[in-house]
Each structure stands twice: as structure tokens, then as C-alpha cells.
Amino acid sequence: MKRDLKPWDRSVQPPLLTPEYKSTLSRAPSNKLITLPHALEDDSGPAFGHGHVREGDNNLITNAAAPDEKALGHRILIHGVVMDEEGRGLPHTLVEIWQANAAGRYRHRNDSYAAPLDPNFAGGGRTLTDEKGHYRFLTIKPAPYPFPNGPNSWRPAHIHFSVFGNSFAQRLITQMYFEGDPLIRLCPVANTTSTPHALVAKLDMKTAKPFDYLAWRFDIVLRGRKQTPFENLLQGL
């Protein structure tokens, strides 16, 4: 059934062309964007198989580790609520994350950073939100890493998020940062949005587990005035 989704708030989303973030120079479209009318397909698909998410997929400390082994690094819990445009928690929503390891390196063939790989850490996880829209991941805090933007450009510690809402119109791909990181204000990627604070997780000592892990809270809003910004604005939306 077609719902009346709120339109995109472009002031929240980053511009496609941000010269300080060098790679946008080559990928930003040169033609004016076209906003398409809201169609039935925006609500009705695509779908994904909930059965593909297994218990333990949301524990990145163990989900790629050898038996009786664990990933190296500072143990953290990332959690929050995925909400719709009205602030209601979205149940059974697919949340996927990927990240660098505790040394700032991705397990990816294109990552040639000098930092070491961890054989017990793949850097990817997924989960479904519960009845109230809540999600949680146990993982390792990623380290900052350099990237070829300017002569001395570093990404703040961050975790990539992909959220698959109830429909294609609620899809979100973004990045989460950690409260208090001084690299955030220097990062041309984080600063493409006018509301980088919406991407900063807050330290959550109430949820931290003593002698085990610290916790960080990151709530996500899909569409509407308080929507969480994309890492780079979707074209044509």
C-alpha cells in the first residue's frame, strides 16, 4: 500500500559536489538533478530475505574468528533505534555495518595501508532490529586511517552503516563517528553534511558492561526533518 512518505530535506543531505572532498570532483553529476514523483514501487520493493541473518552475525569480535579466538582491539557495543519519519521504531529492519580494524585497515584487496590485518576480524556484520526498532553490534573500535584526499588527510574512526527500511524509499547508507574525536572537524567527508553531529555516536555509560566493553549510542532516522544524512546525497532523490 502506498504511504505518504515525507519528501527529502535537501538541507540535511550533503551536496554532491564538495571540492574539499576531492573524489566528488570526478563523480558529481554535471547535469541538474531531477526529482521523481513518489511511486508505488518506492514502498513495495525490493525486499530481502530475513532468513539470511543468523544469530551471531552482529558480533564482529567472533563472527570471523577462528574457534576459541577473538578479534584484537578495544571492545565496544554500538546500539540504537532505527526510526521512521515520525520517530517510531522500525521493527525487523536490516542493519549492516562494515569497518576498519583496530589498526585502521580494511580486509580488502584495495587497502594497502601499512597497518596490519587481524586474521580474526573481517570487519562486517548484520542484524535485524527488534520489535521496538532497536539494534546492537558488539565489535572492535576502528582506528583512524589516512586517505588520498589532501597532503595529510585522515578519516576519523568511523563505522559504515547500511539500513534497509520497510521500502526502497527508506534505504540509508551512511557513516557513524565517535563523540569527542578531534579528527571529525578536519574530515572533508564528515563535513560534506551541514549536520555532522547527527552522525556522531554518544558515549553511553549506562549500557557499557563493566570490565568488558564501552557502549556507544547511535540512533538513525529514515526520512523526515530529523533524517540521518547520507554519506553522499542520493542522486535524483
CA atoms within 13 A on the CB side of 42: 14
Active-site choice (21, 106, 177, 213)? 106
Scanning the chain, the segments in alpha helix (DSSP H) are 24-27, 40-44
Angle at 56 between CA 51 and CA 57, to 5 degrees: 65
Question: Do 152 and 143 form a contact (C-beta atoms < 8 A)?
Answer: no
Is 126 among the residues known to form the active site? Answer: no
Question: Of 223, 217, 230, which is closest to residue 87 (Cα–Cα)?
Answer: 223
In whole angstroms, what is the distance from residue 52 CA to residue 50 CA? 5
Is 145 among the residues known to form the active site? Answer: yes
Is 177 among the residues known to form the active site? Answer: no
Active-site choice (158, 177, 213, 223)? 158
Is 155 among the residues known to form the active site? Answer: yes
CA torsion 28→148→189→144, rounded to 10°? 160
Question: Of 223, 234, 227, 232, which is closest to residue 4 (Cα–Cα)?
Answer: 223
Bridge-partner residues for 72, per DSSP? none
Residue 58 has what DSSP assignment? T
CA torsion 102→105→107→112, rounded to 10°? -160
Active-site choice (145, 177, 213, 223)? 145
Active-site choice (79, 105, 126, 155)? 155
Is 107 among the residues known to form the active site? Answer: no
Active-site choice (79, 105, 126, 160)? 160
Q: Which residues are catalytic?
A: 106, 145, 155, 158, 160
